Amino acid sequence: MSEASQNVNIEVAGGYQPQVVVLKAGVPATLTFNRTSAQGCLDVVHSQQLGFETALPLNQPQTVALNTTAAGEYDFSCGMDMFHGKVVIR
Ligand SMILES: [Cu+2]
């Protein structure tokens, strides 16, 4: 992970792996979600707090850019808010 950007891969297979992502505030960041299992209802990932909603077609990684200017803890979840992950910006 360089100082210029932070890019984290999250595998989506019956949940989020890793479930908690720690990012450095003020450094541009992206999350790339790769759904590798049809298990569960994880075909959409969204976060009201982080301001994204993205469909996750099976085995087609999707990247979202995050605003890291504000430190804090932010939740993301599947479309039905059953599976949760967290972004920690500090
Ligand atoms: Cu769900």
- In the chain, the amino acid numbered 88 is V
- Taking only the tens place, the pLDDT of each residue in 25-40 is 999 999 999 999 998 8
For residues 67 and 51, is the Cβ–Cβ distance under 8 A? yes
Nearest Cα residue to 8 out of 41, 28, 71, 39 = 28
Both tokens of 89, joined, read: 């910006």
Query: What is the percent of the chain with per-residue pLDDT over 70, rounded to a whole number?
Result: 97
CA-closest candidate to residue 62, choices 51, 72, 52: 52
Q: How far is the CA of 41 from the centre of ligand 1 (A)?
A: 4
What distance in angstroms lies between residue 4's CA and the mean position of ligand 1's atoms? 33
48 CA distance to ligand 1 middle (Å): 15
- Looking at residue 40, its pLDDT comes to 83
Q: Give me the amino acid identity at 69.
A: T
Which phi-psi region, left, alpha or beta, contains residue 34 (left: φ > 0; alpha: ψ -120 to 50)?
A: beta
